[in-house]
Amino acid sequence: MKFNLQDRRGFTMIEVLVALLIMALMLTSITRMLTTVRTTRDHIHNTQETMLAGPAIVDLIERDLLGLSILDRPHHQLLSIRNRVELGLDADRIDFVTTTDGKEWEVFDNRPVRADMNEVGYVARPNPEYDEFLELFRREDLGIDNEPFEGGRYTFLHDRVLSLDIQAYGEEGLDADPLEDWGNQEGEEETSGLPVWVKVSVTLELAPRLLREQLVRSSPGDRVVTYTRIVRFPDNLRIAQEDTPRLAIPVPSEAAGGASDPVVGGLPGGGGGRGIGLDGPLPGEGDGRATKGSTGGGRGGGGDGKSDG
């Protein structure tokens, strides 16, 4: 029986190996392309999240600072800025009283309530999971008490903070020297009351969306973003602090002989009483004083003796 060698058809070993090599190169190229697309997608996602979180944080700080209240507060308790360092990173702290509506609900008499004036602060603490980062919190205490820079509830804002730097400036101009600490020290005139402006800088690092992304590290400069906001206090607020409005109950003047009992808020009543309201005392006629927005147009009995009482 004879066999014809020309009838045998197939691939040689070399041809199979060449085909496998070509397929391997194609799969490698496709895998690299998919990895690049995934990394780019995650980087865009992280950048977008940080671009949204950073401005939101500095906007929140600015809104609270612009609502700062000096009503019935001593000068050393108007604003507190403390220079702190945690894990070798700037972890400053700022506290004050603001007229911003409360963001945290408190339950009183089985109903949720929020205050129109609250104690607010911002503080950075070490991250318990990653020792190279800080966590940023917003402190809020319902209402106002004798310790405006303590207590309250802390709301989490961000967990990959590299720096929280807060500086106060007591003079106008960009050449003014920054002060790392401000307020909360009775008797220090230089840092008492309100500064001219405050500079807040928050540095965040982009968080990896996937754990595998940590294997493909980009340059540190591409992953770190610093957000800076300058808050300048209104001139009328800084001028008003020279005669900070205080809440008090008016008392009869001795010079008027206590002709009649005074009434809070400048209501009809004489005796040269002095009423102090929310907007501060306004001069009356003679020895009398009346408060802004008082009802009844009441005035003290001194001077020309005008009184609606």
Does 222 share its domain with 95?
A: yes
If one counts the domains in the chain, the total is 2
pLDDT digits (tens, 9 = 90+) for 179-235: 989 986 655 556 778 899 999 999 998 766 554 444 455 555 567 889 999 999 887
User: What are the E-state strand segments in 143-219?
Assistant: 153-169, 197-205
The tokens describing 180, both together, are 């790392």
- The pLDDT score that the predictor gives to residue 116 is 85
The mean predicted confidence, pLDDT, of the chain is: 75
Does 90 share its domain with 189?
A: yes
- The pLDDT score that the predictor gives to residue 288 is 39
Structural domain that includes position 157: 46-234
Of the residues 234, 263, 287, the one at which a domain ends: 234
Does 70 share its domain with 208?
A: yes
Of the residues 213, 234, 255, the one at which a domain ends: 234
Does 227 share its domain with 294?
A: no
**Cα distances (Å, whole numbers) of residue 157 to 42, 77, 78, 102, 124:** 21, 25, 24, 16, 10
pLDDT digits (tens, 9 = 90+) for 41-84: 777 776 676 678 889 999 999 999 999 988 878 888 889 999 99
Of the residues 234, 260, 289, the one at which a domain ends: 234
